[in-house]
Amino acid sequence: MKDLEKEIELIKERNKRVETDKAWETSWTRKICIAVLTYLVVVAYNYGIDKIDNIFLSSLVPVMGFLLSTLSLKVIRNVWEKRGK
């Protein structure tokens, strides 16, 4: 009986980790962090190019693309899941 209780506790712990991972993957915190990091990398890259008039504005382009893709991926995934069932 102790082994069964231990297994149940291990499963509960695993489920908590999985729920936390899922929450992180879909969180705005994660998306914003990735967007900010992407922006900083693109700003640094554009500084290296030196031929762009407004590097801060042009650096927003890939960031906006990333944000739009994260927003649309959920819709695409939902459609994909419905078609698969």
45/48 Cα distance (integer angstroms): 5
pLDDT tens by residue, the chain, 85 residues? 788 899 999 999 999 989 888 888 888 888 888 888 888 888 888 777 767 778 788 888 888 888 887 777 777 778 877 886 5
84/76 Cα distance (integer angstroms): 12
Rg (CA), the chain: 21
